[in-house]
Amino acid sequence: MSSPTKPQGFATRAIHSGRDKSDPHGSLTSPIYMTSTFEFDTAEQGGARFAGEEGGYIYTRLGNPTLNELEQKLAELEGAEACLTVASGMGAISSVFWSFVSPGDEILVDETLYGCTFAFFRHGMERFGITVRHVDMRDPENLTREISDKTRVVYFETPANPNMRIVDIKAISEIAHTKGAKVVVDSTYCTPYLQNPIALGADIVVHSATKYLGGHGDLMAGVILSSTEDMEQIRYVGLKDMTGAVLSPMNAFLITRGLKTLELRMERHCDNAEKIASFLEGNNKVEKVFFPGLPSFDQYELAKTQMRRFGGMIAFELNGGHDAGLKFLNSLELCKIAVSLGDAETLVEHPASMTHSTYEPEERARFGITEGLVRISAGLETADDILADINQALNYS
């Protein structure tokens, strides 16, 4: 029996919360509102909806019941007042930034970022008169030194793609707020199951839902979570007018379906990643393993304070460096050579030539993305089968 005072568990909320119960047929799963527009009863009603005097849907770029149901659920899971779903992770990041920055502003971003996020800042925002500076956020003192009255947004990933650096969300948020800067955290690697940045002081959370939230490698999507006030700007400026990165209702339905098993999947991803990381650490062909769940990882203690478990991503370096890394990839049989992450299949990639090829080689060297680094997204397969494949591929590397 559930008691009214005891909060429901994550899996229960992932399955039940946000559900729109208005379907007249009692369908257990909600219908997909695969429509671009909504019919008004009268011209006056259309006008009133546009004027914000009457509720109700207008056009899917402004809102849609299938998207709305998913947004309610994700807001609840992340502990945010508001959620917006968009067409991709990059759509989420760009919709947030185009909502809040103007020429002359400065933004401080971490050193290690997903390659296209890095390109968005370096090759994108800088062209519009916005100063972008990189700060190694592993040490909050670096932010204290660099932040100024012009700093509008502080942005980082934790764990960072691809080298697994961890950023102290609480410490960074406190420093950023002394200057009135907004803190935006890309929590893609964790999902709301493993980490809740808003509870630790962050203002805005973004996810690439292409990854664990969708969970099956069959869609592109992004998620933004924030206060209701910030979301007004993000929804009605960033998304509506600036990026137009609208999520398809079909993909929203698939994510809602994927969320029903998020907890189960994340537990398995975490289990498999822990086994892979320990296995790699014990292998004499491996130089170094980057996984926050290993006691040898230099930020293990910090990771424990803000993550429920350590996630499904691992990076490692072989003794033979770059060439050994490529040989390892080419020798895999079960695991797939592919970018992306959070799928059922174990995916292995080489960041320097793939996801992080948007960095210049000297930027990679400066920001800790080594040329020999190999990244693994632990899938949901039987752990022994993954380990056997990694083991045989290491023999060739």
Note the residues at the interface with ligand 7XF (CB under 6 A). 88-90, 114, 117, 157, 161, 186, 188, 208, 210, 220, 222, 339-341, 355
Spot the catalytic one: 105, 110, 168, 186. 186
Contact call for residues 378 and 272 (beta carbons, < 8 A)? yes
Q: How far is the CB of 26 from ligand 7XF (least distance, A)?
A: 34
Is residue 265 part of the annotated active site? The answer reads no
- Residue closer to ligand 7XF by CB (options 147, 183) is 183
**From its phi and psi, is residue 251 left (phi > 0), alpha (psi between -120 and 50) or beta?**
alpha
- Residue closer to ligand 7XF by CB (options 89, 292) is 89
Please spell the DSSP secondary structure of 20-66, one letter per residue: ----TT--SSPPP---SB---SSHHHHHHHHTTSS-S--BTTT--HH
- Residue closer to ligand 7XF by CB (options 88, 163) is 88
Q: Which residue is nearest to ligand 7XF (CB)?
A: 89
Rounded Cα distance between 253 and 63, Å, is 14
Spot the catalytic one: 114, 189, 212, 359. 114
Is residue 288 part of the annotated active site? The answer reads no
Is residue 114 part of the annotated active site? The answer reads yes
Q: Is the peptide bond before 292 cis (omega within 30 degrees of 0)?
A: no
Task: List the one residue out of 276, 261, 266 whose CA is nearest residue 309.
Answer: 266
Q: Report helix angle 249-259 to 65-78, nearest 10.
A: 40
- Residue closer to ligand 7XF by CB (options 66, 117) is 117
Q: How far is the CB of 342 from ligand 7XF (least distance, A)?
A: 9
CA 108 to chain centre: 19
- Residue closer to ligand 7XF by CB (options 30, 210) is 210
- Residue closer to ligand 7XF by CB (options 147, 194) is 194
Is residue 13 part of the annotated active site? The answer reads no
DSSP 8-state symbol, 234 = I
Contact call for residues 289 and 372 (beta carbons, < 8 A)? no
DSSP 8-state symbol, 94 = H
Task: List the one residue out of 65, 346, 296, 91 whose CA is nearest residue 208.
Answer: 91
Q: How far is the CB of 246 from ligand 7XF (least distance, A)?
A: 14
Spot the catalytic one: 19, 61, 308, 336. 61
Q: How far is the CB of 161 from ligand 7XF (least distance, A)?
A: 4
Q: How far is the CB of 58 from ligand 7XF (least distance, A)?
A: 26
Instruction: Give the CA diameter of the chain.
Output: 74
Instruction: Enter the tokens of residue 370.
Output: 């080594």
Q: How far is the CB of 145 from ligand 7XF (least distance, A)?
A: 26
Spot the catalytic one: 152, 182, 211, 268. 211
- The catalytic residue positions are 61, 114, 186, 211
